[in-house]
Amino acid sequence: MSANSNNQNTSVGAPGAILSEPQWNAITQSISGLSAQQLTWVSGYLAGLAASGQALPQSQAAAVPSAAGEAPVLTILFGSQTGNAKGIAQSLQAKVEAAGYSSKLVSMADYKPRQIKNETHLAIVASTHGEGEPPDDAIELHEFLGTKKAPKVDKLKYAVLSLGDSSYEFFCQTGKDFDERLAKLGGKLVVPRVDCDVDYEAEAEAWVAKLIETLKDDFTSAGAAAVAMQTGSAVAAGTAAQVYTKKAPYQATLLTSQKITGRDSVKDIRHIEISLEDSGITYQAGDALGVWFKNDAALADEIITLIQASADQEVTVAEHTLSFKEALINKLELTLSYPGFVKAYQEASGCEALAKLLEDKAALRDYLADRQIVDIVRDHPHPVTAAQFVAACRPLTPRLYSIASSQSEVEDEVHLTIAHVDYDAFGNRHQGGASGFLCDRLEEGGEVDVFVEPNDNFRLPENPDTPVIMIGPGTGIAPFRSFMQERDAQGAEGKNWLFFGNPHFTQDFLYQLEWQGYVKSGLLSKISLAFSRDQKDKIYVQHRLLEEGKDVYQWLEEGAHLYVCGDANQMAKDVESALLEIFRTHGGKSDEEAKAYLLSLRKAKRYQKDVY
């Protein structure tokens, strides 16, 4: 790029005739760490100033440091599977910079682990995945800090916020690991680590505020005005780009809820279509849709009767005052059970049987594995006040579903593929919270509150000619339907290979006609199917991977991107084991070399997972 107005060329990336070196240094420091969206906003802002003939006010320009390194920098690292940790990290950066501190925001996937020795101030926001495991983008850093290669960090001041779910045994384990490992390496924890449960917002905000206050003595206000301008631009850009959020969802309309498994299938899987008309909401292939749902009113009535409370009693949930029944339907988690509820309900009721159960953690987890909140109350009905029951419950949280459509094809709609959780247990019917709402209780034409949850860790290759391998059994097929719609709209030349599995071909081949159409048109180059119960020995997607190992490895050697979506606890682990075996068998690699090859794919964002 060149500037021709004065017949002089200036190189981008180094000061030229137009800018002095101090000016260039000031600019590069000011824009360091900005996202692509923020850079676009800033470029438009500066273009507007140039077009109007204005200069940046001297009071603001003077506040920009003349050279880098005049103030400490807070490095904010996030490890996020569903986007919650990333959202908190982004909020932290906005507030840190509004306070006048310099910062940089980095995904752990993009962070060089050895850089840790150069940090002076570090904030970690990390979720825990599966059975106490780090999310994909945190794996390399997490492992590195636990090895002998990890350097001493005696000058490091750090803080950790961990996200998790207390219904799992290894609650917030990833955050605990980061805290422990940094402390062993000599780092100093400047604010206590906070381990957040699923209702994390209030605790996260308090942690952010405490961290900013604690950093006050170490950080100067140099560059505060410039940083504030950047933060303002980021907020303005974010507001323009996404009006509807988790806290301010869009009231959408359910268009279709259609069962797409056969009459004799053991699964009830629905194709859901939701209208986003006039919302202005946009999404990308790979994103998720957050769904706020309502609990079954009959379930609320039963709980009210069991605890002998009043449906009309006023209660407060997260600063909202409403009747107890309304709170049970709209504000409280009634399907997912967890130890915290048992403890609080026992203390409120004085139930001796629950007190005894709480003494045995293993027995408690076994008991909760098959029960919803209402089952616990059914087993141990005791008089409890409405306020006590509310205090024992978690706030309702939205469910995230992988989007099964591309806007390039469906425009102002969004499609989902949902397994309706619906079963009998302990003499009663049970349904999933969100799946029961969308698949059973909400009629077509009814309203549902939704928002888009971006997933930058599950994206199609930028180059449409790049081959892709998609592994998605069951409802894990959802994002790959969106991938194919998007590739079709792009006119992508890259090869596409789908691995899909379910119990029976005749009952459970989800979107069968669509996949056959893609095969016929040539868009889907190859499809490998694993219907586990159509023969004596069960066959799953990992078995098909091993059978096709030579070609899978060849595709990867040709630059293919590989995606996995579905069950985290078993399927994803089995698929990863199969991949390592493929690298050993067809790549001639040792165990260590196979692991290194897989890590290289992950670091290059050629191995991405959307698992739950």
For 155-210, the pLDDT digits (tens) are 999 999 999 988 788 889 999 999 999 999 999 999 999 999 888 888 999 999 99
Token couple for 255: 């268009």
| Contact of 467 with 560, CB cutoff 8 Å | yes
> How far, in Å, CA of 519 to CA of 509, rounded?
15
Q: What pLDDT score does 153 carry?
A: 94
**Structural domain 73-219, CATH architecture:** 3-Layer(aba) Sandwich (3.40)
> CB within 8 A of 311, min separation 6: which ones?
300, 301, 304, 323, 324, 325
Looking at residue 334, its amino acid is L
Q: How many helices (H) and strands (E) does the chain have?
A: 24, 21
DSSP code string of 411-453 = SSEEEEEEE--EEEETTEEEE-HHHHIIIIISPTT-EEEEEEE
Q: How confident is the model at residue 398 (pLDDT cuts 50, 70, 90)?
A: very high
Asked if residue 323 has pLDDT above 90, the reply is yes
pLDDT digits (tens, 9 = 90+) for 403-428: 999 999 999 999 999 999 999 999 99
* pLDDT above 50 (res 60): no
More confident residue, 196 or 232: 196
Query: What separation, in Å, do the N-terminal and C-terminal C-alpha atoms of the chain show?
Result: 46
Token pair for residue 417? 């593929």
Name the phi and psi angles at 141, rounded to 5. Answer: -65, -40
Confidence check: pLDDT of 17 > 70: no
Give the model's pLDDT for residue 84: 85
Q: Write down the pLDDT at residue 217.
A: 85
pTM of the model: 0.77
> What pLDDT is stored for residue 402 in this prediction?
97
Nearest to 276 by CA among 453, 416, 413, 449: 413
CB atoms within 10 A of CB 14: 9
* Residue 505 predicted with pLDDT over 70: yes
Higher pLDDT, 68 or 197: 197
- In the block, tokens 């499809």 appear at 527
Find the range with the poorest average confidence among 22-31, 69-78, 230-239, 399-408. Answer: 230-239
Q: Looking at residue 28, what is its pLDDT?
A: 54
Q: How confident is the model at residue 25 (pLDDT cuts 50, 70, 90)?
A: low
> For residue 302, what pLDDT is reported?
97
**Structure confidence at residue 263 as a pLDDT band (50, 70, 90):** very high
Statement: residue 300 has pLDDT above 60: yes
Residue 403 DSSP one-character state: B
Between residues 221 and 506, the one the model is more confident about: 506
pLDDT digits over 41-53, tens only? Answer: 566 556 554 554 4
Instruction: Please state, in angstroms and as integers, the Cα–Cα distance from residue 262 to each residue in 155, 266, 267, 270, following that order.
Output: 62, 9, 8, 11
For residue 497, the model assigns a pLDDT of 98
Averaged pLDDT of the chain: 87
pLDDT at 21 over 80: no
pLDDT band, very low/low/confident/very high, at 232 (cuts 50, 70, 90): very low
Is residue 228 pLDDT above 70, yes or no?
Answer: no
Per-residue confidence (pLDDT) for residue 227, from 0 to 100: 42
Contact 358, 345 (CB under 8 A): no
Q: What is the length of the chain?
A: 612
Return the exposure string of 318-352: e unless at least 16 CB atoms fall within 10 Å of the residue's CB, then b. eeeeeebbbbbbbbbbbbbbbbebbebbbebbebe
Report d(CA 434, CA 443) in Å as an integer.
Answer: 14
Look at residue 136 in the predicted model and tell me its pLDDT. Answer: 83
Residue pair 372/337 in contact (Cβ under 8 Å)? The answer is: yes
Query: What superfamily in CATH does domain 297-392 come from?
Result: NADPH-cytochrome p450 Reductase; Chain A, domain 3 (1.20.990.10)
- Equal fold, 73-219 vs 468-611: yes
> In this predicted model, which residue has the larger pLDDT, 16 or 564?
564
Query: How many CB atoms neighbour CB 412 within 10 A?
Result: 13
Residue 132: left if φ>0, alpha if ψ -120 to 50, beta else—which one?
left
Q: Find the mean pLDDT for residues 378-383.
A: 97
In this predicted structure, the answer to whether residue 116 has a pLDDT above a threshold of 90 is yes
Q: Which of 274, 228, 224 lies closest to 254 in space, CA to CA?
A: 274
- Tell the residue number behind the tokens 């999404």, with chain if given: 283
Domain boundaries, the chain: 1-71+221-241, 73-219, 250-293+398-453, 297-392, 468-611
Position 576, amino acid: E
Topology classification of domain 468-611 = Rossmann fold (3.40.50)
The pLDDT score that the predictor gives to residue 58 is 40
Is the pLDDT score of 609 beyond 70? yes
- Least confident residue range of 2-16, 295-309, 404-418: 2-16
pLDDT value for 400: 95
Q: Say whether 231 sits in a helix, a strand or coil.
A: helix
Concatenating the DSSP letter of every residue in 367-384 gives HHHT--HHHHHHHS----
Please report the pLDDT score of residue 26 as a whole number.
Answer: 52
Per mean pLDDT, which range of 111-115, 323-327, 522-526 is the poorest? 111-115
CATH number assigned to the domain with residue range 250-293+398-453, chosen from the 4 options 2.60.40.10, 3.10.450.50, 3.40.50.880, 2.40.30.10: 2.40.30.10
Identity of the amino acid at 476? G
CB 193 within 8 A of CB 156: no
